[in-house]
Amino acid sequence: MVTAERRAREAVELATQAGSSRDLGEIKRDIALAVQATHSPDGFGVQEALAMAVNHVSFAATSDDASLNVQKAAPIFAADSTRVIQRCDLIVLLGKDVEASTTVKEASISVTEIVKLARANVSGDDTNADGPPGSVPSGYGLVQLRKELEAMIAREHPPYVTVDRWYLFNLVRLPNGKWVFDKFGRGGNIEGYK
C-alpha cells in the first residue's frame, strides 16, 4: 500500500505538470511517465502494487490461523479496491490518446481527465455527490483503502504482531496446497513437503 500510494502521488505530479505545459512533446513525456507510475509491471505501478496488497490480504485470510476479522475483511478490501484498478485502466487508455494527439489542445482534453483520475486514485472521488471524496467504497482511493486495512489490523484480538523476518524466508507450500512456515529450518522434511 505504501508503494501504491507513492506511485499514485507520482502520477498526480506528472499529470498535473503535463496539464500546465504548452509543449506537446513535454506533455506526451509527462503523461507517458504518469502512465508508467500507474501501470507498469516492470516499474511496479499503482495497479501492480495494489493488486499485490489485495493478494497478500486475501492470502492471509486463507491461512489456517486467520482470524474471523481477517476472513471477513479480505473480500471487502478486494471489492473496495476495484474502483482504483478501473481508474488505472482508464489512465492507460487516456494515455494512449495523449500519445496519438497531434496538438496541445487535443492532448489537453485527455490530460484533464488523467489528472482527475490520478487524484481520485490517491484521495477518492465523490461518486455519490455528497461532497467529500471517497466517502463510499465506490469512490475510494488509496487513502481510504489504507484506512480500511489499518482498521482491520486494529480490530485484531489479540493484537496483530508481525512475524520475525526469519520466518518470511521459510514459507513453503505443501503438496496438499496449504502454505506453512518452516519454523525449524527443516527444508524438505515438513509434513510431507519435498
Do 122 and 75 lie in one domain? The reply is yes
Whole-number Cα distances in Å, 106 to 116, 162, 186? 17, 50, 62
Do 167 and 113 lie in one domain? The reply is no
Do 177 and 108 lie in one domain? The reply is no
Do 144 and 169 lie in one domain? The reply is no
Q: Which domain holds residue 179?
A: 163-194
For the stretch 74-105, pLDDT in tens is 999 999 999 999 999 999 999 999 999 999 99
> Residues 190, 180: contact at Cβ < 8 Å?
yes
Do 143 and 55 lie in one domain? The reply is yes
Do 100 and 119 lie in one domain? The reply is yes
In total, how many domains does the chain have? 2
Do 64 and 112 lie in one domain? The reply is yes
**Dihedral through CA 68, CA 72, CA 75, CA 78, nearest 10?**
-90
Residue 154: phi, psi to the nearest 5? -65, -25
Do 155 and 139 lie in one domain? The reply is yes
- pLDDT value of residue 167: 42
Do 150 and 189 lie in one domain? The reply is no
Q: Give the global pTM.
A: 0.82
Nearest to 54 by CA among 35, 80, 92, 89: 80
For the stretch 4-52, pLDDT in tens is 999 999 999 999 999 999 999 999 999 999 999 999 988 899 999 999 9
| Residue 130 binned pLDDT confidence (cut-offs 50, 70, 90) | confident
Do 13 and 99 lie in one domain? The reply is yes
Do 129 and 179 lie in one domain? The reply is no
